[in-house]
Structure 1
Amino acid sequence: MNDRILAAIRSVPWAIMPGYLEAIEAMAIRALDHPAVQAVAEDGHVERHFEAIAQMGERAAGTRSAAIRDGVGALPIFGPILPRAAMMSPSGGGAVALDLLAADFRALQADPAVRMILLVVDSPGGVTTDIAQFARMVAQSPKPVSAHVTGMGCSAAYWIISQANQISIDATAMVGSIGVMMGGSIQENPDQAGRREIAIVSKNAPNKRPDLTTEEGRAIISGTVDAIEDVFIAAVARGRGVTEAVVRSDFGQGGVLAGGPAVKAGMADRVEADGLDGAIRRLSTRTSSTRRTAAENTLKLAHARAGL
């Protein structure tokens, strides 16, 4: 059973921090003493989430998790991202479901009391399924959308927030991890019951079960994740108003940047000295927010690199 669970997790592309995918796999098979699970449990995300919720304001009408404060509708994106609530454990498991997130986002768009929307983010990323569609909702929102990162805005989460009008981050927050990955396993010996599974695919579908022990088999998986990464990078480039070449060379190359270095690279717009509370106060005093043009962003990036 555990092998089938792991196979299901590894059968889809992920845009997530590697350590978190390892933790998800361990939790899925109930290996709760795994070092990756312990590392996630001790990374301080629970405390960050409670602190953020306390600052977001009162629950927004018609939403599951969004809040409103001084005309700013705050939408939390906390934890690993999954496409649908049906994929989550009954307790939620500390993850966020895109279908519920989209419903709350639409409710904030429709609420006349909300002048602008703030994505409050602390997420390592998640499954790539439906991420592009939700990111497009952010990019095309009739109300201005900003994002503030309290801990991590990585991988799939960064894909989403890159489409916001502006991104602010805490001084120690991290953004990036732009890339896509898929895993796999190879059975080299019989299992504990003395059985070895063998899969036979039809003659016209040799790529349905690529042999990961071969270079050709690994190339099939690489082609899939590279194609999704191209979509990811193109979206980030459009959202941040830079070229794809800049994203590929300066936006971490799969790594993350924190605070000031992230702003200097153009991955975020400002370090918020007063954190989330400061971001909400600043946005609440603004009457509008417009999307940057590519020229404006390029000029800002050049000034940042020159130390101006």
Structure 2
Amino acid sequence: MNQHVMAAIRSQPWAIMPGYLEAIEAIALRVLDDPAVLALKDDGHQERQLSAVAMMGERAPGTRKAMLREGIGMLPLMGPVFPRSNIMTEYSGAASLDIAAADLRALQASPDVRQILMVIDSPGGAVAQVNDFARLVAASPKPISVHVTGLCCSAAYWIGSSAPGGISLDPTGVVGSIGVLISTSYQVEADANGRRDLEIASTNAPNKRPDLSTPEGQAVVRQMLDGIEDIFIQTVARGRGVTEATVRNEFGKGGTLTGKAAKAAGMVDRIEADGLDGAIRRLAKAGPATPRRTAAANTLTLAQIRAG
């Protein structure tokens, strides 16, 4: 059973901070005293997320997790991201994109919601359906923006960067970790029963099971990850109104940025001194405005014209 669980986790690419993937593997195997799990337990994310939820008002009608306050529909995206509900989303505080998508549509349809605020505190997650959800965010018929209370990294930044209304950040918020990884292993010795797993692929499918002990086999996997990363970077560039080269060279190169450094790099639009409460109050007072993406795109177009 444990082999099947690990195979399921390691059969897919992830856009997540590396330490969190180690914790997901340990939690899935119920090794709750693993150092990766203990490190997350003590990082304060649970208290931070509970505090954020307490500021969001009351449950929005017709939703599972969305909230409503002062005409602002709030869509929380907290914890590791998965494409659909599973044991991690039900019992370990992870986020489900199928639930988030349903809640987003409900907020868009509600006459009580003037604007939508995604409240993000997530290290990222599985790649599956992330780009589809990012497109839903980008195409929202109602104004939608993002506030980061803790982490907005990897898959979460992939999604958050698509918000037309831009991104605000707690002074200690963290963004970035742009990139894709996969966790895997290969057998170097026979197992306890004296057996060694062997898989043979058909003649015309040598890359179905690449030999990960060789540079050539690793290159096959890396090529697949690079293809997903290209889509990730294209989405971020389009959402933030910058070039792909800017994302590759100035958005952390797989690392993270915080506070003023994140704003200086163009990864977020403002540092919210009063945190989530300040972001909600600002949106509640604000009237219609030109979407940040439109303004950024106009600036980029002007720069390209001037460059020749």
User: What TM-score do the two structures reach when normalised by structure 2?
Assistant: 0.94
Q: Secondary structure at the match of 1:242?
A: coil
Q: Aligned partners of 2:87, 2:109: CA distance in 1, in Å?
A: 27
Please state if 1:262 is matched with 2:290.
Answer: no
Are 1:161 and 2:160 matched, yes or no? yes
SS of the counterpart of 2:91? coil
Query: By how many angstroms is 1:65 displaced?
Result: 0.5
Q: RMSD over aligned Cα, in angstroms?
A: 1.6
Deviation at 1:281, TM superposition (A): 0.3
* Corresponding position of 1:145: 144
Partner-residue secondary structure (3-state), 2:131 = helix
SS of equivalent to 2:147: strand
Q: Is the 8 A contact 1:144 1:290 kept in 2?
A: no
SS, match of residue 205 in structure 2: coil
Change (3 A) 1:34 1:173: same
Q: Please state if 1:281 is matched with 2:277.
A: no
Residues 15, 126 of structure 2: 8 Å contact kept? yes
CA distance in 1 between partners of 2:89 and 2:235 (Å) = 33
Mapped partners of 2:176, 2:201: distance in 1: 38
- The match for 2:12 is 12
CA contact (8 A) 1:154 1:176 kept: yes
Aligned to 1:304: none
Per the TM alignment, residue 91 of structure 1 is displaced from its structure 2 partner at its CA by 3.5
Separation in 1, partners of 2:128, 2:51 = 29
**How far apart in 2 are the matches of 1:12 and 1:63?**
29
**Pair 1:133-2:132 in alignment:** yes
Greater Cα offset, 13-22 or 92-101:
92-101
In 2, distance between residues paired with 1:237 and 1:32?
A: 38
CA contact (8 A) 2:62 2:106 kept: yes
> What's the counterpart of residue 190 of structure 1?
190
Superposition pairs for residues 1-308 of structure 1, below 5 Å? Answer: 1-85=1-85, 87-89=86-88, 91-164=90-163, 165-291=165-291, 292-293=293-294, 294-295=296-297, 298=300
Q: Deviations over 1:169-224 (max 9, x none)?
A: 00011000000011210111122333322222222221111100111111110011
Mind listing any 5+ residue stretches in structure 1 that lack a counterpart? 302-308
Shift in CA distance, 288/90, structure 1 to aligned 2, threshold 3 Å: closer
Taking structure 1 as the reference length, the TM-score comes to: 0.94
Q: Is the 8 A contact 1:242 1:297 kept in 2?
A: no
Aligned residue for 1:91, secondary structure, equals helix
CA deviation after TM superposition for structure 1 residue 3, in Å: 2.8
Deviation of the 1:30 alpha carbon: 1.6
